[in-house]
Structure 1
Amino acid sequence: MTSLLTNNGAMVALQTLKSVNASLSETQGQISTGKKVDNAKQNAAVWAISKTMESDVNGFKSVQESLALGESTVAVARQATETVTELLGEIKTRIASATGDNVDRAKLTNEITSLREQISSVVGAAQFNGLNLVDGSATSTEVLSSLDRANGNVSASSITVDGVDLDSGGYTAQNVFGINTDGITAANDGFATNVADGATADIEVDGTLAGLTAGDTLTLNLGGQEVSYQISAEDIAATSTTEAIAVGLKNAIEDQTTFDASELSVDYDASGVGTGDTIEITNNTGESMNISGQYQNAGAGDLAALSTLDISNSSAAQASLASIESLINTTIDASAAFGTVESRISIQKDFISNLSDSVKSGIGSLVDADMEETSARLQALQVQQQLATQSLSIANQGPQQLLSLFR
């Protein structure tokens, strides 16, 4: 039935044209923005996920900046410790020269003083953006390393970088180690001796010492294995401080070295050489062993013993040689620690960069338009629009055909 009042064909054609125009408008929007989901109206769930991940990507940028800053700071500290190690090596050669006779000790002393001042200069200058990790001013620093999302909650993770104190000032010598019959030449804060296979070294904690405080540290080096003992408040308060320290050192040697009882025998003798409280170390390793010791007072920098180096005679130079060896080991350990954490920061920085790229790719797969498909759909919709317009035009011409019935 044809009606002058209701044109069903035109209504159908108009609805089709509206649908085509809507799809065409959406497709043109995707082409202009490059996204198939540009707002929450189009797909609320996908849009919400993409915005959450985009915020994480922005956070990764801050993490990368933090890691870059941290890497540079640690690199400066590592370079400083490596330079100090080289300078200490130079000092060691001068001390080694001083262990012999017929040497110009005054010139060697001047050279050691100059190298010590250079070490102080290096340590003082080893800062990045105001942070110095080697002068004792910073015990540690945190480097933001990642933003972790779990169960909708975000938490920050960081890499801890421990600082070191390579300051060479603030040292007060203590005559901790007493004389024995195996080469420890005087009551001093450091010593060095060589123990032949089968021989025993008697290391005495001097009974006349005074001024020790809790936190002072005694370090021994036995054939390359380092032992550290920190004097406690209980040691200071003990009836016999020297006995408490000697026993503590004996236990530290047994706990911190890998020698078994057949290789190294360690005994405590309350009535040893001198004033007593002696550790007897018997070498059964099958070869001679260098044993050295160094006192370090609390609050002083790790290189404070530089100020006590003495090469006034061969015997003093021998003790100083042991001290410098301990200091070199300290800076080597610091360099290794900084190198390890610098490598970790570098790995984390690369990971965060790759992670950021992966997240961006994931966001793109959710919201980016497939331009090949979208452009093909645009052409199809343009054709459909033309056909729908033509159909609407034909449908609107239908009622005009009724005029022929009235002629």
Structure 2
Amino acid sequence: MSSILTNNSAMVALQTLKSINKNLAMTQSEISTGKSVANAKDNSAIWAISKVMESDVKGFQAVSESLSLGESTVAVARNASETVTDLLTEMKGRIVAAQEENVDRDAIQEDIVALRDQISSVVGAAQFNGLNLLDGSSTDALNILSSLDRSSDGSVSARQIVVDRENLAVTGNVSSQSLGITAAADQATANDYIQAGGDDTNFALGTDYDRDDPATATSTIADGGTLDFTFTQVAEGLSYSITIDDLNINTADGSSTLGIRTFEYVATADDSVNDVARQLGNQVQSFFDAATASGEGYSVTFDPASTGDNNVFRITNATGGGTDNILVFTEVSEGGTPGASGANGLAAVQTIDVTTDSGATNALGAIDDLIQTSIDAAASFGSAQTQIETQSDFIGKLSDSLKSGIGSLVDADMEEVSARLQALQTQQQLGVQSLSIANQAPQTILSLFR
């Protein structure tokens, strides 16, 4: 039956053409935006997931910037610490030279002061964007944003790399130790403080060692012999002194001559007898290493009896040395003032003065601790910089992975879209043709009325 009121064929063709046009519009949208899910109505679930991931990518971009800033700051501190270490090592060379006989110690001291000023300059300049990790202006650690951790429930927490500051300032409250001026109560008390091979310690402070009178020495170390120094009592302010005479000391011209050195230490409130033995023994050993020829065989041994207690150290005068006997004079007093360097790691460099025998000896013992402080600082910053670099590389790769994941969710497959566009354009042409044919069908009814 034909009807001029209802054209079923045209209705079907029109619906088909509308469907084709709708799909064609979606395809054209994918082509123009490059996305298969451009907004929430395209696919609400996928769109929501992609937006969360995009926000994470933005967050990791900020993390990457934070890591870059932190890495630069730490790199400046590391380079400065390494430079300070080199300068302190150069200073040690000057101090070692000052241990020799017949050298111009005043000129050496001028070099040491110049190196100290250079260290101060390096530490002061070691800042990045106004932040200095070496100058001791603050003890607060540097917190560097390193990650954003998203848990399964959707909550986000920040993670940080903590970089501790290191104090390499050469300024601050510092004082040299001052030996006591009060004699021990009696001979027995003095011998408890320090004793050399069982011989009496000098406690009558008015009776000093006389080089012209070897009999004033308290002990003798024969060629090939040894002498043990024992400490059994300690208290804050106790002053211990060991003078060693007839040592074969290097000279500036490469030869050697007989000389004398005194090693001193004033105990702090926290020292034990082991600490005192270690302090004085290290001073003696450092001097032997720096200012005497290896052929002399001078050496220091800690805990020689292997008792498990380090309140004893031994000096050895090996057989075959260039000199025979070594003379030793031990002295003790009360009421001394320990040296203090406050909280600044390198403040003790201010007290280095090699213009005297005792100053040169004390400097030799102090410089190794200062060098170790700067080495520890450089190592700490180096470790932190490596950690930051590793995290920065990881954040970069993680951001790339997230971007790739977002793309796989929402990006259009252009090869597929291109093929679908061609097919839909063909379908559209055929749909138009089909609708045109369907619209012409009612006109055939006119022939029935002719």
**Short-chain TM bin:** 0.7 to 0.9
The 1-side partners of 2:161 and 2:394 are apart by 14
Q: How far, CA to CA, are the matches of 1:172 and 1:243 in structure 2? A: 17
CA contact (8 A) 2:169 2:345 kept: yes
* Residues 142, 159 of structure 1: 8 Å contact kept: yes
Partner of 1:330: 373
Q: Percent identity?
A: 55
Match for residue 264 of structure 2? none
CA distance in structure 2 between the partners assigned to 1:341 and 1:197 by the alignment: 50
Q: Give the equivalent residue in structure 1 for 2:237.
A: 208
Q: State how far apart, in whole Å, the 1-side matches of 2:165 and 2:436 are.
A: 83
* 2:164 alignment partner in structure 1: 162
Query: What residue in structure 1 maps to residue 201 of structure 2?
Result: none
- Secondary structure of the 1:29 match is helix
What is the identity, as a one-letter code, of the residue corresponding to 1:142?
N
Q: Once superposed, what is the RMSD of the aligned Cα atoms?
A: 3.1
**What's 2:399 paired with?**
356
Map 1:208-247 → 2, pairs under 5 A: 208=237, 245-246=271-272
Is 1:65 aligned to residue 65 of structure 2? yes
2:41 corresponding residue in structure 1: 41
Cα contact 1:60–1:352 (8 A) shared by 2: yes
- Answering whether residue 375 of structure 2 is matched by residue 343 of structure 1, we say no
Q: Write the deviation string for residues 27-64 of structure 1: whole angstroms up to 9, x where unpaired.
A: 00000000000000010000001111111111111111
Counterparts of 1:263 and 1:341 in 2: how far apart (Å)?
Answer: 43
1:104 and 1:42 map into 2 onto residues whose CA distance is 88
Partner of 2:145: 144
Kindly state the Cα deviation for residue 170 of structure 1 after the two structures are TM-superposed: 1.7
Contact 1:24 1:382 in 2 (8 A): yes
**CA shift for structure 1 position 202:** 4.3
Secondary structure of residue in 1 paired with 2:311: strand
**Residue 173 in 1 paired to residue 175 in 2?**
yes
Residues 289-343 of structure 1 deviation map (CA, whole Å, 9 limit, x = unaligned): xxxxxx7747431001101112123343222112101100110011011001001
Name the structure 1 match of 2:207.
none
Rounded to whole Å, the distance in 2 between the matches of 1:84 and 1:103 is: 26
For the pair 1:319 / 2:362, whether they are aligned, the reply is yes
Q: Kindly indicate whether the alpha-carbon contact (under 8 Å) linking 1:99 and 1:313 is maintained by their aligned counterparts in 2.
A: no
CA shift in 2, pair 1:197/1:68, >3 Å: farther
In 1, the alpha carbon distance for the partners of 2:366 and 2:173 equals: 14
The answer to whether the Cα contact below 8 Å between 2:174 and 2:342 also exists between their aligned partners in 1 is: no
**Contact kept? 1:133, 1:163, Cα under 8 Å:** yes
- The aligned residue for residue 32 of structure 2 is 32
Residue matched to 1:280: 311
AA paired with 2:237? T
SS at match of 2:159: strand
Q: Do the aligned partners of 1:177 and 1:205 also contact (CA within 8 Å) in 2? A: no
The alignment partner of 2:272 has SS state of helix
Once the two structures are TM-superposed, the CA of residue 352 in structure 1 deviates from its matched residue by: 0.6
Which blocks of at least 5 consecutive residues in structure 2 are unaligned? 181-192, 197-223, 240-266, 280-301, 319-337
* Counterpart AA for 1:27: T
SS of aligned partner of 1:143: strand
How far apart are the structure 1 equivalents of 2:404 and 2:65? 21
Q: For residues 160-190 of structure 1, give each alpha carbon's deviation from its aligned partner in whole angstroms, at most 9, with x where no partner exists.
A: 01001111122333638999567xxxxxxxx
Task: Give 3-state SS (helix, strand or coil) of 1:136's partner.
Answer: coil
Map 1:80-99 to 2 at 5 A: 80-99=80-99
Report the Cα distance in structure 1 between the residues aligned to 2:60 and 2:387, rounded to whole angstroms. Answer: 17
Describe the superposition over 1:79-102 as per-residue Cα deviations: whole angstroms up to 9, x where unpaired.
100000000011100000011110
Paired residue total: 337
Three-state SS of the structure 2 residue aligned to 1:73 is helix
Question: Which protein has the larger Cα radius of gyration, Structure 1 or Structure 2?
Answer: 2
What's the TM-score, normalizing by structure 1? Answer: 0.76
Would the aligned equivalents of 1:13 and 1:388 in 2 still touch at CA under 8 Å?
A: yes
Deviation at 1:263, TM superposition (A): 8.9
- Aligned mate of 1:374, from 405, 414, 417: 417
Give the distance between the partners of 1:346 and 1:80, measured in 2 at CA. 19
Counterparts of residues 300-319 of structure 1 (less than 5 Å) = 300-319=343-362
Name the aligned partner's letter for residue 148 of structure 1.
Answer: D
The normalised TM-score by structure 2 is 0.69
Shift of 1:377: 0.4
- Following superposition, the deviation at residue 2 of structure 1 comes to 1.8
How many angstroms apart in 1 are the aligned matches of 2:35 and 2:305? 74
Cα-to-partner distance string for 1:109-154 (whole Å, 9 max, x where unaligned): 0000000001001001100001000011232110010111112011
Change in CA separation of 1:354 and 1:131 when aligned onto 2, cut-off 3 Å: same
